[in-house]
Amino acid sequence: MTPVDPRLLRYARATAGHLAVLVAFGAATAALVITQAGLLADTIAGVIEHGTTLAALGTPLVLLAAVIAARAVIAWATEAEGHRASARVKSTLRRRLLAHVVDLGPAHLTDRRTGRLVTLATTGIDALDGYFAKYLPQLVLAVVVPAAILARVLPADPIAAITIAATLPLIPVFMILIGLATRAATRNRYDALTRLAHHFLDVVAGLPTLKVFGRATHQADTIRRITDRYRKSTLATLRIAFLSALVLELIATLSVALVAVGIGLRLVGGHLDLRTALLVLILAPEAYLPLRAVGTHYHASADGLTAAEEVFTVLDTPRPDTGRAAPPADVTDLTVDAVTVTHPDRPEPAPDAASLHLTRGHIVAVTGPSGAGKSTLLSVLLGFTPPDSGRVLVNGHDLATLDPDRWRRHVGWAAQQPYLFTGTVADNIRLGAPTAPDTDVTAAARDACLDVPLDTPVGERGTGLSAGQRRRVALARAYLRHADLLLLDEPTAGLDPDTEARVLARLRTLAAGRAVLLVSHRPAALAAADTVVDLTPALR
Amino acid sequence: MSGDIRHVLRLGRTARGRFTLAVLCGTAATGAAVALGGTSAWLIARAAQHPPVLYLMVAIVAVRAFGLSRGVFRYAERLIGHDTALRVLGRLRVTVYQRLAALAPAGLSTERSGDLTARLVTDIDSLADVWLRLLLPYTVAGLVGAGTVAFTAWLLPTAGIALAATLLTVALASPLLAGRISRHAEARIAPLRGRLATRTVDLLDATAELAAHNATTAALADYADTDRDLARAERRAATGQGLAAALATLAGGAAVWAAVTLGTPAVRHGTLTGLLFAVLVLTPLAVHEAFAALPPAAAQLPRLRGATRRVLAIMRRPDPVTDPTDPADDPTPPYHLRLRGVTAGWDRGDVLHDLDLDVPAGARIAVTGPSGSGKSTLAAVLLRFCDHTGSITLAGTELSTLTGDTVRRHIGLCAQDVHLFDTTIAENLRLARPDATDDDLHHALTRARLDEFVAGLPDGLDTFVGEHGSRLSGGQVQRLALARALLADPPVLVLDEPTEHLDEPTAAALTRDLLAATAGRTVLMLTHRRADLDAFDTVYDLRSGRLVPGVSTTPHTHRDRTFVP
């Protein structure tokens, strides 16, 4: 992991401006640190050697107060600017991430991946705050301040400057060396911690089951044993991991001590005056401080950087190639020709060489056991999943060559588990036709036999409606598209026989002007179709 | 510090000795850093008087020793501190687990969802941080700060007071200010963040729906609007973010400035030597450098306090069922289960009302009813997960006179929300009977009609089932749970909606196999399914917490749920 990921600069331009501001603040901080040390050295030397009075110190004290105030202001401005830059960068990354994911399409999104992406787009990216507000400013300080101090000390006391210049690079060198040496150990420890938390979580989640079998008490010992084993192995790793901190502290503190002793001895020998000696003494620790602080802020930034890397991995995933051709103005004829889709986690393809033919005015029902590929077939027809072999012909044109966005304007789709948005039932029906007049929405709802008022509020993920009502909202949604092709996935599942019969009767009427593909294994739905295609593998 | 956090500290009191050691090492390390600053100031000021080098030897050795010891002591502090925290963590886990075990499942009804359990586990883990990240740095800083203030006050009392004031500003006022600012900002930002999260979920979970309806562009524009609102609010809140850091910087500078201002007249009046003046002015720099770690440590307090509150709320929750102090003898066959006038329920009121039910030994009884009618409460009462009034006897012994574990040895449960542990099939089965042989396991699997599947797996019984059984299908999970219940072989077996989450054909097949597998044993089946109930001796209907016998032929009219006739 590099300190500043170049992709961060590429994907979020605000980063570059932020870096420039930070360098300016860093330079100002360095100047103030050196000025403050000079003022202090002057004052102390004056008081000790010449017995300066407080009245004579008027100007230096005012200057000192001004420097201190300025340092405080810059400390404030650095962090505030960090948060401001962070807000900008986070917003850019979030928007790019979501736009790209949506472009990658639903086939890319497994359940697990969706969960991971939601976390990434919310709390994951938020962790960048630590990176921008703490780590990056500290990193800039760690470069600017020691350099400026060396430049100031060198003319005053070359020997001290050489001591500092010789030891300073040891800090990052050792940081990297020890970081490399302990990386595997640190990862193991992190994995162990994750496993341990997972085990504990599993046990707590399964407590009712453990109690049923009288094993709950027994698990307390297991938890104790596992945690203790983890503690021992962790301490073994920490003994090495903390060595890095030890080395860093030793280098920094011992170097300061060496500088102090060195200037003390040169002072005795008369090669140095008190004022210079004090200046070097005050500046020496300030040279090491920002470098050491980088280490402490590194962990605060690691989460954010990891999240950013994940975002970049998604952004670097190329968009799928899609067709460009315009679909025919009227879709009257659809042929599915030996379409096969293989799934990475299943041995059998599903659907396996499925074929069917569908024309305007007809209803074709697709049936088969779960896992036979019924919903996948609809996904192929929607242009979400490219078939591994076989093809789909729309009025004779290969679907793969058509622009998917324009093709979908011809399709009305009701999903098996429709997603409903917060709002009203009418809002949800309007998803695919936002400008549709109320009369059309009412008609679509009536065609779908939807028995709830259109202004019924819908909660997150459709709460407030029953599963059957949600399906019928999806049905009305598909109807409102006035599309040439209707793809309906289990539209009558969960409906009582009466409602089912009414839904199917309306569908028959609607089918007059369009082609309908119906996925179902309900007898009534199959009976309503002109043709039934069975995807059961053994039947073909 | 709040009382809750003090309570947590009491939970970890066995680690007190180790913690003291960590504090001592930390104090030595930080003390060495401060002493290095003071001693080197003295060394330089003394050297300027050109004394013989011999006079400086003690100071030179001291400076080198402080420079060396700081790192070593810090190393020891870190190691011992982590050791302490991990020991406390182990103890906390066990203590909280034992409490959870006493409460589950009834007392944890609000923590049932996976997210809440996960948060609880994270909460417990973060309690160990109270020791490591809050108490340790503050104790060390307090000790070193007090020592330095005392030393400074000895040199010049007014300078001591000034130093104390600036240190308190860093340790207390700066975190307080930071806390107030971030609370204020959070109050404005959190709702926006929530709205953005909802839109994120909408976009990602409904990608297909949006794309199919050509609504993606509009949804992305909506998202961008919300995102811009959030970014704007965050930028506005940023102005307050650095104020606490600025205050700490200001306090550190003020300590040095005060030392110069107060020390100069003292040197003039002869109450302070020039040598000690250098020490007086340069020591605050070193001690403030050490205190700079406190505000970040204090920033953890709100998080730790939230975690503490949630964990303690669980620790203080009353037991849902108390075991008798002097339990009765185990019941003996025949196991006739008899309920008379049983009323029971959860926090929100009674669910079962004055219920009578007989399950004679060897009988197969079904209780049907729509969801919410009280079937799961009935199961919980029989398993002693939930207290009841009225009488429940097994072979004539009141269940309330037996310990919960004894009751559950005699009355087993195979529930809808069965939990499979993230381990092998064999381990999951042996939960029911740790000494079961592989043959026993295969026998149980055969009866649950799962043996063929398991035999076909490359790793057989040693196949891992995944988190919550994620590598198995819904039907396989239920069959594995059934096999486990059969292996436990309780005299009475309660089946609570074993087919709840399954599709219709799978549910029908499982119900048939369930009946075959449990032939000849005492079974109480709780289900909303009206199908396949012919094999039961008696079918009752549970409505609003009361049993209605003999109406099993009346079909339910539960909306949106069809029943195979």
Note whether residue A514 is domain-resident.
yes
Residue A348's identity, in one-letter code, is E
Please tell me whether residues A445 and A307 are part of one structural domain: no
Beta pairing class for B546-549 and B538-543: antiparallel
Is A505 part of any domain? yes
Question: Best-predicted range by mean pLDDT among A60-69, A132-141, B173-182?
Answer: A60-69
How many Å apart are CA B37 and CA B50, to the nearest integer? 21
Confidence check: pLDDT of A507 > 90: yes
CA distances (Å), origin B321, targets B165, B393, B414, B481, B495: 54, 16, 21, 25, 22
Instruction: Pick the more confident residue, B563 or A467.
Output: A467
Q: Is residue A322 part of a domain?
A: no
Per-residue model confidence (pLDDT) at position A245: 76
User: What residue has token string 């870190």?
Assistant: B78
pLDDT in the model for residue B2: 60
pLDDT higher than threshold 70 for residue B559? no
Residue type, A34: I
What pLDDT does B14 receive? 76
CB contact under 8 A, A217 and B101: yes
Q: Is the pLDDT score of A316 beyond 60? A: yes
Interchain pair A277, B47: CB under 8 A: yes
Contact assignment for B66 to A466 by CB distance below 8 Å: no
Which of A396-401's residues contact partners 24+ apart within 8 Å by CB, and which partners? A396/A333, A397/A325, A397/A327, A397/A328, A398/A323, A399/A323, A400/A323, A401/A323, A401/A324, A401/A325
DSSP state of A272: S
Instruction: Reply yes or no on whether the pLDDT at B371 is more than 80.
Output: no
Tokens of A533: 């295609």
| CA angle, residues B457, B460, B461, in degrees to nearest 5 | 140
Best of A49, A88, A261, A475 to mutate (most B CBs within 10 Å, chain B): A261
Asked if residue A537 has pLDDT above 80, the reply is no
Q: Which residues pair with B549 in a beta bridge?
A: B540
Q: Are residues A245 and A346 in the same domain?
A: no
A315, A348, A367 — which closes off a domain? A315
In this structure, the answer to whether residues A274 and A357 fall within a common structural domain is no
> Which residues on B lie below 8 Å from A248 (Cβ)?
71
Q: Are residues A278 and A337 in the same domain?
A: no
Measured CA to CA, the distance from residue A174 to residue A215 in angstroms comes to 50
Q: Which residues of B touch A80 (CB under 8 A)?
A: 238-242
| Whether residues A308 and A351 fall in one domain | no
In-domain check, residue B269: yes
CB contact under 8 A, A83 and B234: yes
Mutate which: B223, B260, B383, vs A, most A CBs within 10 A: B260
Indicate if A338 and A310 belong to the same structural domain: no
Q: Of the candidates B315, B350, B365, which is a domain's last residue?
A: B315
Kindly report which listed range (A127-131, A344-348, A382-386, B485-489) carries the lowest average pLDDT score: A344-348
B58 in contact with chain A, both atoms CB, cutoff 8 A: no
Task: Note whether A261 and A238 are within 8 A (CB).
Answer: no
Q: How far is CA A326 from CA A486, B218, B311, B402, in A?
A: 19, 22, 60, 76
- Candidates A260, A296, A404; nearest CB to B63: A260
User: Do the beta carbons of residue B94 and residue A223 sit within 8 Å?
Assistant: yes
Q: Say whether A500 sits in a helix, a strand or coil.
A: helix
| Of the partner residues B98, B218, B285, the one whose CB lies closest to the CB of residue A220 | B98
Is A263 in the same domain as A387?
no
DSSP A206: T
Please report which confidence band the pLDDT of residue B115 belongs to, taking 50, 70 and 90 as the band edges.
low
Q: Is the pLDDT of residue A467 over 80?
A: no
* Average confidence (pLDDT) over B229-239: 89
Q: For residues B114 and A526, what is the distance between their CA atoms, to the nearest angstrom?
A: 39
What pLDDT does B563 receive? 30
Secondary structure class of B361 (helix, strand, coil): coil
Question: Are residues B164 and B221 located together in one domain of the fold?
Answer: yes
* Dihedral in degrees, nearest 10, Cα atoms B411, B416, B422, B426: 50
Domain match, B260 and B356 both: no
Nearest to B204 among A101, A223, A413 (CB): A101
Decide which of A246, A280, A315 is a domain's last residue: A315
As to burial, measured by CB atoms within 10 angstroms (0-12 exposed, 13-18 middle, 19+ buried), residue B10 is exposed
C-alpha–C-alpha distance, residues A128 and A114, integer Å: 21
Judged against a pLDDT cut of 50, whether residue B52 lies above it is answered with yes
Contacts of B282 in chain A (CB under 8 A): 40, 44, 281-282
Highest mean pLDDT among A48-52, A389-393, A455-459: A389-393
pTM: 0.79
Identify how many contiguous H helices and E strands chain B contains and give both numbers: 20, 10
Average of per-residue pLDDT across A174-192: 72
Q: What is the pLDDT of residue A111?
A: 64
CB within 8 A of A330, min separation 6: which ones? A395, A484
- Spacing of C-alpha A414 from chain mean position: 30
Give me the CATH number covering residue A401: 3.40.50.300
Q: Report the pLDDT value the prediction gives residue A112, as an integer from 0 to 100.
A: 63
Nearest C-alpha of chain B: how many angstroms from A184?
19
Q: Tell me: the pLDDT tens digits for A259-271?
A: 999 999 999 988 8
Q: Give the per-residue pLDDT at B241.
A: 80
* CATH number of the domain where residue A240 is located: 1.20.1560.10
Whether B267 and B346 share a structural domain: no
Q: What is the pLDDT of residue B558?
A: 33
Q: What is the mean pLDDT of chain B?
A: 86
CB A311 within 8 A of CB A123: no
**Band of the pLDDT at B442, cuts 50, 70, 90?**
very high
Are the C-beta atoms of A308 and A5 separated by less than 8 Å? yes
For residue B350, what is the domain's CATH number?
3.40.50.300
Smallest Cβ distance to A83: which of B46, B241, B267?
B241
pLDDT at B564 over 60: no
Percentage, residues of chain A above pLDDT 70 = 96
Is A351 within 8 Å of A329 (Cβ atoms)?
A: no
pLDDT at residue A66, rounded to an integer: 97
> What are the tokens at B436?
């079961």
Packing angle, helices A14-50 and B243-268, rounded to 10:
10
Query: pLDDT of B518-545, one tens digit each?
Result: 887 899 998 877 767 777 888 888 877 7
Residues B559 and B433 in one domain: yes
Calculate ∠ Cα A384-A386-A390, nearest 5°. 135
Query: For B421, left (φ over 0), alpha (ψ -120 to 50), or beta?
Result: beta
Residue B327 belongs to a domain: no
Domain, as residue range, for B223: 3-315
- The pLDDT confidence band at residue B60, using thresholds 50, 70 and 90, is very high
Claim to verify: residue B377 and residue B292 sit in the same structural domain: no
- Residue B326 is assigned to a structural domain of this protein: no
In a domain, B42, yes or no: yes
A179 and A227 inside one domain = yes
Q: Are residues B260 and B377 in the same domain?
A: no
Q: Nearest CA to A524 among A376, A375, A365?
A: A365
Range of the domain at A353: 333-539
CB B552 within 8 A of CB B539: yes
Does B384 lie in the same domain as B297? no
DSSP state for residue A530 in the 8-state scheme: S
Indicate which of B473, B562, B563 best probes the interface with A, i.e. most A CBs within 10 Å of its own CB: B562
Q: State how far residue A509 is from chain B, nearest Cα, in angstroms.
A: 23
User: A-chain residues within 8 Å CB-CB of B419?
Assistant: 205-206, 208-209
- Name the residue type at position B138: Y
- Which range is least confidently modeled, A31-40, A43-52, B494-503? B494-503
pLDDT at B556 (0 to 100): 35
Backbone region of residue B336 per phi and psi (left: phi > 0; alpha: psi in -120 to 50; beta: other values): beta
For residue B342, give the nearest of B402, B405, B384, B404 by alpha carbon: B384
pLDDT digits (tens, 9 = 90+) for A289-311: 888 788 777 766 777 888 888 89
Whether residue B104 is contained in a domain is answered as yes
Kindly report whether the peptide bond that precedes residue A137 is cis, defined as omega within 30 degrees of 0: no
Mean pLDDT calculated for residue range B395-412: 92
Q: What average pLDDT does the segment B399-423 reach?
A: 89
Q: Are the beta carbons of B343 and B390 closer than 8 angstroms?
A: yes
Instruction: Determine the pLDDT at residue B111.
Output: 53
Residues B243 and B344 both lie in one domain: no
pLDDT exceeds cutoff 70 at B560: no
CA-based nearest distance B355→chain A, Å: 23
Does any domain span residue A1?
no
Tokens standing for residue B324: 């008798």
Say how far apart CA B521 and CA B92 lie, in whole Å: 42
Look at residue B323 and tell me if it is in a domain.
no
Within a domain: residue A212?
Answer: yes
Q: Are residues B251 and B112 in the same domain?
A: yes
Measured between beta carbons, the chain B residues lying within 8 angstroms of A404 are 211
Q: How many domains does chain B have?
A: 2
| Residue where one domain finishes, among candidates A315, A346, A374 | A315
Whole-number pLDDT of residue B107: 67
Compute how many other C-beta atoms are within 10 angstroms of the C-beta atom of residue A446. 12
Name the H helices within B385-530: 404-410, 425-430, 438-447, 451-456, 474-488, 504-517
If asked whether residues B56 and B170 sit together in one domain, one would say yes
State the Rg of chain A over Cα.
35
Phi and psi at residue A325, in whole multiples of 5°?
Answer: -65, 150
CB contact under 8 Å between A77 and B260, yes or no, is no
Cβ-based neighbours of A336, under 8 Å, separated by 6 or more: A354, A355, A356, A357, A358, A377, A380, A381, A390, A392
Weakest mean pLDDT among A59-63, A516-520, B289-293, B506-510: B506-510
Number of structural domains in chain A: 2
- Greater model confidence, B552 or B130: B130
Q: Tell me: do B197 and B128 sit in the same domain.
A: yes
Residue B55 counted as domain residue: yes
With respect to residue A321, please indicate whether it lies within any of the assigned structural domains: no
Residue B307 placed within a domain: yes
CA distances from B460 to A186, B429, B434, B448, B465 (A): 35, 13, 18, 16, 11
| 3-class secondary structure per residue, B250-313 | HHHHHHHHHHHHHHHHHHHCCCCCHHHHHHHHHHHHHHHHHHCCHHHHHCCHHHHHHHHHHHHH
Distance in angstroms (rounded) separating the CA atoms of residues B419 and A219: 15
Q: How far apart are CA A305 and CA A291, in angstroms?
A: 19
Q: What ipTM was assigned to the predicted interfaces of this complex?
A: 0.83
CB A279 within 8 A of CB A45: no
* Cβ–Cβ under 8 Å, residues A68 and B257: yes
Q: Which of A179, A176, A177, A154 is nearest to A166 (CA)?
A: A154
Q: Are residues B467 and B409 in the same domain?
A: yes
Whether the per-residue pLDDT at A145 is higher than 80: the answer is yes
Residues A381, A518 contacting (CB under 8 angstroms): no
Q: What is the pLDDT of residue B219?
A: 93
Cβ proximity of A67 and B252 under 8 Å: no
Please tell me whether residues A290 and A198 are part of one structural domain: yes
The Cα B25–Cα B136 span in angstroms is 11
Helix or strand run (H / E) with residue B141: helix B136-155
In chain A, how many H helices and how many E strands?
19, 11
| pLDDT classification of A122: cutoffs 50, 70, 90 | confident
Whether A257 sits inside 8 A of B40 (CB atoms) is: yes
User: Residue B376: which of B340, B345, B331, B422 has the closest Cα?
Assistant: B345
Instruction: Cis check for the bond before A351: say yes or no (omega within 30 of 0).
Output: yes
B468: which chain A residues are within 8 Å (Cβ-Cβ)?
205
Q: Are residues A152 and A295 in the same domain?
A: yes
Ramachandran region, residue B295 (left: φ > 0; alpha: ψ -120 to 50; beta: rest): alpha
Residues constituting chain B: 565
Same domain, A311 and A340: no
Give a yes or no: residue A323 inside a domain.
no
Comparing CA positions, the residue from B354, B344, B351, B352 lying closest to residue B320 is B344
Do A417 and A285 fall into the same domain? no
CATH number at residue B126: 1.20.1560.10
